[in-house]
Structure 1
Amino acid sequence: MFKGLQPILYGGREVWPLIEGGKGVSATNHASSGAWAAAGGIGTVSAVNADSYDPDGRIVPQVYKSLTRRERHEELIQYAIDGAVAQVQRAYDIAGGKGAININVLWEMGGAQRVLEGVLERTKGLVTGVTCGAGMPYKLSEIAASHGVSYLPIISSARAFRALWKRAYSKAAEWLSAVVYEDPWLAGGHNGLSNAEDPRKPQDPYPRVAELRATMREGGISDDVPIVMAGGVWRLDEWANWIDNPELGTIAFQFGTRPLLTQESPIPPGWKARLMTLEEGDILLHRFSPTGFYSSAVRNPFLRNLEACSERQIAYTPVEVGDHAFQLDVGIGTKKNYWVTRGDLQHAREWFGAGYTEALKTPDDTLVFVTPAEMKTIRKDQADCMGCLSQCAFSSWADNEKNSTGRLADPRSFCIQKTLQDIAHGGPIEENLMFAGHSAFRFKNDPFYSNGFVPTVKQLFDRILTGA
């Protein structure tokens, strides 16, 4: 047992302060979260469009049959509720009364409040708490309290928590069981970088967490309410000065990346094998996500293609003005006026000659050049939108009266629902978005994983308890 690590009281029982991160679409399910809880920790089911099952136990494909986005959005919400309920029920059975089961939702996912309400209504007594981030989930506390479950907001700064506390959470303080600090430079998936923070200049998490604790104390929150360090956590001996530290109060640790490589992890074998080959720097903090958030993922050909697409981009004006004195003559219809600079006209002609013959408009008055096949895929994915986000830059969907963001759909982004569902269910790992934290490169050199060893969740949990 690592020195100083003590169990905490959560959900009426003692558990180890080790939380499994609830990762995305089907990257964390009942098998891994149930096993994590059975080992004595807090397992987290991802309630983001989770898999449901038919009577024979087979995964139900999430196929959308409706013609309109609004109708497909309703299908998506029902899939999401049914899937999360199924995952919670199975995880609870696997846990066998040990540890605790949380669910994780993204506040910016489509129909988030309806999904959360629907899941909690059908899982009474099974879910201990709800972790929630990706946005400012002001209503999280109200929903959790109404269902008698704890809530664990995911934030990336003391400032964000202060706003949530003052506006909403202070009214349901008794149900706040922890605050998750998700480091925006280290965590996998979507990250909470603000406009004031430089994505290229990571900050030390310690002073940021100390500031968070100070903010919590200002609100009268006990030091017994843990702050959960999430992002970049690999082994506990690297965080020894955080444990039993009076300045920080009670600290728990969230492990998101390491549980991906376990026997119970639901990600496909190819994904697991790829994790063992990553080098430092192979994880890219990028801003291609249709959510508008920064996110971290493996820099595979899928991401490289998005980078290349954005590099094949030129600004235009609808009339001749200043340096924009040359009329674009490739990649566009004959009846449109696009005025560009001399240099950009030359770039456009070169891209056209290389096969990138289609110019697509972006919301920023630029044109990106893609191949005809790429354009066909982009247009189809945009047309097939089912409203998986509260607002989507790629399709212009928004969960409002008009179902529109009011902005032009952005071809520089991608359908996140499509790619995450595909990679989680055996699709090609080089052609899809592969989320991972920035410590994923450590699989390759950590002796625990030597000779291709893939542990069970229990073996990993016990290893983490030793500090290694």
Structure 2
Amino acid sequence: MKALNSLNISGSEVLPLVEGGKGISATNGASAGAWAAAGGVGTVSCVNADNFDENGEVIPQIYHGKTRIERHAELIQYGIDGGVRQVKDAHDIAGGKGRIHINVLWEMGGAEPVLEGVLDGAKGLVHGITCGAGMPYKLAEIAANHKVYFHPIISSARAFGILWKRAYKNYGEWLGGVVYEDPWLAGGHNGLSNAEDPFEPQDPYPRVVALRKMMNKFGLEHVPILMAGGVWYLRDWEHWFDNPEVGLVAFQYGTRPLLTKESPIPQGWKDRLLSLGEGDVLLHRFSPTGFYSSAVRNKLLRDLEARSERQVEFRRKAGVDEAFNTEVAIGKKKYFVKEDDKASVLEWVEKGFDTSMRTPDDTLILVTEPEAAEIRKDQKDCMGCLSQCKFSNWSQNPDTNYSTGRGADPRSFCIQKSLMNIAHGGSLEDNLMFAGHAAFNFATDPFYSNGYIPTVKELMERIATGD
């Protein structure tokens, strides 16, 4: 394989190997610092980052506020304190080598104050910001004010063009790179547009070539593209090296760094990664963000699939719509459904799914009473972890009275609770386990034979060989 040439990323010559951010507590100061120390770009996740007490134990993020607004303020402060701590740890471990980036989701609750707070609290220690999950128009301005490079995460040339023309062109000197995140292959939340078919993956090469053409039109030939999603063996991407159609390119790894000694995820999660097969990662739309996302198809996702299948259109009164003239009783409640749906509803009730919950789309889902109680509790406990949430109907916009204007959707789930649980030793089956679609390679890649878990340095050396 061709040799990996260093690139100028966020103001320094480094290996073109970037650690992906990976959301809540799946990337931290230890992993990012080790990645930077090995000569690449380490990324601290500043999405509800962990902080530690004087004994080095994780400080639980417990919320005391009686209202969502009060809990939202606590969430922001937890995020700032944890982010600053993790960046400082990464800086110490890196020892002046590589680059340290932070990752935030633009649609996370309090993204702007968390980002500002971390940059202020870890002043001079952050070299770059990666940010996606939405259209982060203010990212460039914030980065420039702090003299930090910004790396927007996009999934199409069109998205970057909109961001550049509306917001980024005035801060071009601080554009450190553009992350192209493949919406069909990357783990976590993906940027599929309404015009794209989630079941018809597109080759990333022409999409990246289109991005490069657009960037060149804006005079950004010197800015690297960071390819993210589906990258495993670099030998498979060798035709991208020194390719004028692609231009300067680096490769971002999200899934492979999960299985390293420095990775903060629990050992059980690491063991599970070693046993995944092709097709075990599901591209789904159950996330309360409304985005598509990719995660291991465990019990949580299977339950969400089944919950949505136990769904029926309804009306509360007869005569409102002549198609809905068949009465059906679910517990103590009566609804009017289409005649053809009555048998299904009665069958679900007979199987124990005897509690109805209304969705914002004039449908009912049928669940067990314990499931309904858990859904209601999770919705009540909402702390505004997203800028707007389908599951709880929270919006951080005071102009809408902190509401999305739609009812809470019981077909989704509390993503904050789930990601916090799995990151800190909770059930691998009942919580969201993000992973990219190339994760099945853990089971067949000889590098991981007999359950071998490398250090970050060993992994990066392996990647550089093409394997």
Q: Same fold (TM over 0.5)?
A: yes
- Is the contact between residue 296 and residue 434 of structure 2 (CA under 8 Å) also seen in structure 1? yes
> Which residue is equivalent to 2:278?
280
Structure 1: distance between partners of 2:79 and 2:89: 16
> Which residue is equivalent to 1:302?
300
Structure 1: distance between partners of 2:217 and 2:362: 46
What are the superposed Cα offsets for residues 212-231 of structure 1, whole Å, 9 maximum, x if unpaired? 0111111121x221000000
Structure 1: distance between partners of 2:5 and 2:331: 63
Amino acid at match of 1:399: Q
Segments of structure 2 that go 5 or more residues without pairing to the other structure are none
> Which residue is equivalent to 1:46?
45
Q: How does 1:100-179 map to 2 (within 5 A)?
A: 100-179=99-178
Amino acid at match of 2:75: L
> Which residue is equivalent to 2:267?
269
Amino acid at match of 1:441: F
Indicate yes or no: 2:378 matched with 1:381.
yes
Amino acid at match of 1:75: E
Amino acid at match of 1:424: A
- Give the deviation of 1:328 after TM superposition: 2.1
Indicate yes or no: 2:322 matched with 1:325.
no
- Give the deviation of 1:78 after TM superposition: 0.1
Instruction: Choose the corresponding residue for 1:365, options 355, 362, 366.
Output: 362
- Give the deviation of 1:56 after TM superposition: 1.9
- Give the deviation of 1:322 after TM superposition: 3.2
- Give the deviation of 1:50 after TM superposition: 0.3
Give structure 1 regions of 4+ aligned residues with deviation exceeding 6 angstroms: none
Instruction: Choose the corresponding residue for 1:353, options 346, 350, 353.
Output: 350
- Give the deviation of 1:55 after TM superposition: 1.8
What are the superposed Cα offsets for residues 166-202 of structure 1, whole Å, 9 maximum, x if unpaired? 0000000000010000000000000000000000000
Paired residue secondary structure (2:300): helix
The structure-2 alpha-carbon separation of the partners of 1:37 and 1:361, relative to structure 1 and needing over 3 Å to count, comes to same
Paired residue secondary structure (2:330): coil
Q: How does 1:45-84 map to 2 (within 5 A)?
A: 45-84=44-83
Structure 1: distance between partners of 2:168 and 2:290: 25
> Which residue is equivalent to 1:311?
309
Structure 2: distance between partners of 1:14 and 1:295: 33
The structure-2 alpha-carbon separation of the partners of 1:11 and 1:161, relative to structure 1 and needing over 3 Å to count, comes to closer
Amino acid at match of 2:223: V
What are the superposed Cα offsets for residues 23-46 of structure 1, whole Å, 9 maximum, x if unpaired? 110000111111000000000000
Indicate yes or no: 2:84 matched with 1:85.
yes
> Which residue is equivalent to 2:184?
185
The structure-2 alpha-carbon separation of the partners of 1:191 and 1:11, relative to structure 1 and needing over 3 Å to count, comes to closer
Structure 1 stretch displaced more, 212-221 or 237-246 = 212-221
Paired residue secondary structure (1:136): coil
- Give the deviation of 1:332 after TM superposition: 5.1
Structure 2: distance between partners of 1:217 and 1:427: 47
Amino acid at match of 1:275: L
- Give the deviation of 1:13 after TM superposition: 2.7
Amino acid at match of 2:322: G
- Is the contact between residue 332 and residue 359 of structure 1 (CA under 8 Å) also seen in structure 2? no
TM-score by length of 2: 0.98
What are the superposed Cα offsets for residues 129-166 of structure 1, whole Å, 9 maximum, x if unpaired? 00000000000000000000000000000010000000
> Which residue is equivalent to 1:197?
196
Amino acid at match of 1:93: D
Segments of structure 1 that go 5 or more residues without pairing to the other structure are none
Amino acid at match of 2:415: I
> Which residue is equivalent to 1:412?
411
- Give the deviation of 1:333 after TM superposition: 2.2
Structure 1: distance between partners of 2:322 and 2:179: 50
TM-score by length of 1: 0.98
Indicate yes or no: 2:428 matched with 1:429.
yes
Aligned length in residues: 463
Structure 1: distance between partners of 2:196 and 2:238: 27
Amino acid at match of 1:104: N
- Is the contact between residue 331 and residue 369 of structure 1 (CA under 8 Å) also seen in structure 2? no
Instruction: Choose the corresponding residue for 2:244, options 215, 236, 246.
Output: 246
Structure 2: distance between partners of 1:260 and 1:89: 21
- Is the contact between residue 9 and residue 177 of structure 2 (CA under 8 Å) also seen in structure 1? no
What are the superposed Cα offsets for residues 410-462 of structure 1, whole Å, 9 maximum, x if unpaired? 00000000000000000010110000000001100000000110000010000
What are the superposed Cα offsets for residues 207-257 of structure 1, whole Å, 9 maximum, x if unpaired? 000000111111121x22100000000011000111110011101000000
- Give the deviation of 1:323 after TM superposition: 2.5
The structure-2 alpha-carbon separation of the partners of 1:317 and 1:217, relative to structure 1 and needing over 3 Å to count, comes to same
Paired residue secondary structure (1:329): strand
- Is the contact between residue 4 and residue 244 of structure 1 (CA under 8 Å) also seen in structure 2? no
Structure 2: distance between partners of 1:11 and 1:292: 31
Percent of matched pairs sharing the same residue: 65
- Is the contact between residue 130 and residue 151 of structure 1 (CA under 8 Å) also seen in structure 2? yes
- Is the contact between residue 332 and residue 358 of structure 1 (CA under 8 Å) also seen in structure 2? no
What are the superposed Cα offsets for residues 381-401 of structure 1, whole Å, 9 maximum, x if unpaired? 000000000000000000111
> Which residue is equivalent to 1:216?
215
